[in-house]
Structure 1
């Protein structure tokens, strides 16, 4: 198995080509091809994290997204944000998130804390 670090864009593109072929072949886990796919995937993830970092989403947009995913209404957000007026104030960016709100949203809706504390 000839695997080496990805140093540049060409290495990255070559690895993506190999990964694509391996995914199409659908190798069994634990086989040499399966192991190669696993290792190359880790190398590509690392390269992408270093060269194509993603910005954290806007906290309010993250809350709205989670609401949409879970089919939640503004009333459903009361346990996390407070009374209905406060829910609307937060969702309309008229009130910031408190530490208690961030904790409740993180624990109850599994929205990452680092997303919730980001600048809106």
Structure 2
């Protein structure tokens, strides 16, 4: 298991595929430890490359009010 920071889209795609392979690994296994590390690395890569802005509180309230009125 070689785990290093994700720097490119190709490394990111590989990490996502590997996470999919490892998803049902037994808790405490080497594979589960690799899965945990990959999830952290992917999370870090996504935070740096695909940041999500905090929602505007007023807009959130408006959207939520619309959702409630539809039901």
Q: TM-score, normalised by structure 1?
A: 0.50
Residue aligning to 1:50: 48
Structure 1 unpaired stretches of 5+: 72-120
CA RMSD, Structure 1 to Structure 2 (Å): 1.9
Counterpart position of 1:6: 6
Give the structure 1 partner of residue 30 of structure 2: 32
Deviation at 1:39, TM superposition (A): 0.3
Distance 2:33 2:17 in 1: 16
Matches within 5 A, 1:66-81: none
What does residue 21 of structure 1 align with? Answer: 21
Deviation >3 Å, runs of 4+ = none
TM-score relative to the length of structure 2 = 0.80
User: Aligned residue pairs: how many?
Assistant: 67
Pick 1 or 2: higher relative contact order, CA cutoff 8 A, min separation 6.
2
Provide the rounded CA distance (Å) in 2 between the counterparts of 1:27 and 1:18: 12
Q: Does 1:63 align with 2:61?
A: yes
Pick the structure with greater CA Rg.
1
- Measured in 2, the distance between the counterparts of 1:5 and 1:62 equals 34
The structural deviation recorded for 1:22 is 1.1
